[in-house]
Structure 1
């Protein structure tokens, strides 16, 4: 995959054409590719990290967000398949990104592109459904309260009107994509799946995370970390160590 392939969907913060593995990282709802800058830095040499940049944020802020998760997965899979090279391809997604990673992995495998491993973080298995909260229809104030509760956004940013005007449209479109998503039954993935979850995550319990085992014909492992929905920020080093060990 060349440095200029599949733009504007992919960001390389630390290009590593000689790295043995490509690790594609998909952000949470409202998140951007830069969320994975620390991952890219820490794993430099072990993997070339590609951060997926969804429409509607940062340099793509002028683009409308995609409110259909299946359509979003189509676009990401196309971008990845277009620039695939001979290196193993690993997917890591957190929250909404985990569901997208699953759908992207399915599309890649169906089209003949092998996925080496899927890391599904902070999200219940695709077949496990909760009644939607319709967060995407909340007022701005209610939406900000949800973001503050999840603790994945700097609280100082949430108090800046200009910043909120930039990020809330993307947050709203992402929540709509998540809340309207419905799993379409399909054969299990061929690739191994590693599910990661915080032990105090209000959005996914351990039984829901363990149900990822039903979605792979390969090996499955559940890793539980201390923390809530954004456990991986506080547990960054432990998560990086886990990923590095799996990649090797």
Structure 2
């Protein structure tokens, strides 16, 4: 086990842990947005915000550009933390990572209690008409703006733009090179979250996540666009809470 595995997680615990919630961010994101989740979830839930290389306290590390090495490294780090029931949550890019990691952990003998995939097409569906990570800088920036997940004023600060563009390119490369094909199902239930006004994710395709579980499946829609998990955080966390409540402690 790598001695530095703890740097993968921003841990938020306020009570005795019975369920662990591993939350994986979207492209360009970090584990920090999940800090607020701690205040709205039961004390029995410990939130592990996943810190990906290239951002936050890991800013000096190179971001991953392929799913295989990232998923393998994250699995190694997670196995040290798995001492009871766990739920995996991922939004957009994070949803694909969460699915891949969930599948790999299952092969290692660790089965999640629930997998929540948010704002993402299933693996067999294409992620877009263009390979965004290959676009020229200005076109790439415009494509990022269209997602409306980054404050507009940040694009006016050249120093900030120069910092996050390489990270975003790497993240989009990871997503856009993930094989577009069907993958074996996981054994845990899957819930797919979607935004009713999310033009980046086809709502009907969300239903097709059902083929990736041998257990139960549910699709749940929320108001808002691609970043509905932020604009309608209260409703999203209420749904997450409902899923964690019924999980028996170890």
TM-score (norm 2): 0.92
C-alpha distance in 2 between matches for 1:144 and 1:187: 35
C-alpha distance in 2 between matches for 1:170 and 1:44: 33
Look up the SS of the partner of 1:210 in the other structure: helix
Instruction: Measure how far apart 1:185 and its partner are.
Output: 4.3
Instruction: Measure how far apart 1:109 and its partner are.
Output: 0.6
Structure 1 equivalent of residue 78 of structure 2: 80
Structure 2 equivalent of residue 24 of structure 1: 22
C-alpha distance in 2 between matches for 1:177 and 1:137: 12
C-alpha distance in 2 between matches for 1:238 and 1:153: 21
Q: Kindly tell me: are residues 38 and 156 of structure 1, through their superposed partners in 2, closer, same or farther at Cα, counting changes over 3 Å? A: same
Question: Could you report, residue by residue, the CA deviation over 1:149-184 in whole angstroms, capped at 9, with x for unpaired residues?
Answer: 111111122211111122111111000001111056
State whether residues 127 and 176 of structure 2, in contact with CA within 8 Å, keep that contact through their aligned partners in structure 1: no
C-alpha distance in 2 between matches for 1:159 and 1:243: 35
Q: Is residue 67 of structure 2 the alignment partner of residue 69 of structure 1?
A: yes
Q: Is residue 37 of structure 2 the alignment partner of residue 11 of structure 1?
A: no
Q: Kindly tell me: are residues 130 and 175 of structure 1, through their superposed partners in 2, closer, same or farther at Cα, counting changes over 3 Å? A: closer
Q: Kindly tell me: are residues 44 and 140 of structure 1, through their superposed partners in 2, closer, same or farther at Cα, counting changes over 3 Å? A: farther
Look up the SS of the partner of 1:156 in the other structure: helix
Instruction: Measure how far apart 1:17 and its partner are.
Output: 5.9
Instruction: Measure how far apart 1:7 and its partner are.
Output: 2.0
Question: Could you report, residue by residue, the CA deviation over 1:12-55 in whole angstroms, capped at 9, with x for unpaired residues?
Answer: 1x224612210000000111111222223322514110011111
C-alpha distance in 2 between matches for 1:68 and 1:132: 19
**2:103 aligned residue (93, 106, 128):** 106
Look up the SS of the partner of 2:32 in the other structure: helix
Q: How many residues align?
A: 243
> What is the CA RMSD across the aligned residues, in angstroms?
1.7
**1:117 aligned residue (98, 114, 117):** 114
Structure 1 equivalent of residue 46 of structure 2: 48
State whether residues 114 and 190 of structure 2, in contact with CA within 8 Å, keep that contact through their aligned partners in structure 1: yes
Look up the SS of the partner of 1:8 in the other structure: helix
Structure 2 equivalent of residue 235 of structure 1: 232
C-alpha distance in 1 between matches for 2:15 and 2:43: 10
State whether residues 15 and 44 of structure 2, in contact with CA within 8 Å, keep that contact through their aligned partners in structure 1: no
Structure 2 residues not aligned, in runs of 5+: 246-250
Structure 1 residues not aligned, in runs of 5+: none
Instruction: Measure how far apart 1:140 and its partner are.
Output: 2.7
Q: Kindly tell me: are residues 75 and 172 of structure 1, through their superposed partners in 2, closer, same or farther at Cα, counting changes over 3 Å? A: same
State whether residues 91 and 120 of structure 2, in contact with CA within 8 Å, keep that contact through their aligned partners in structure 1: yes
TM-score (norm 1): 0.92
State whether residues 125 and 181 of structure 2, in contact with CA within 8 Å, keep that contact through their aligned partners in structure 1: no
State whether residues 127 and 175 of structure 2, in contact with CA within 8 Å, keep that contact through their aligned partners in structure 1: no
Q: Kindly tell me: are residues 132 and 110 of structure 1, through their superposed partners in 2, closer, same or farther at Cα, counting changes over 3 Å? A: farther
The more displaced of 180-189 and 154-163 is 180-189
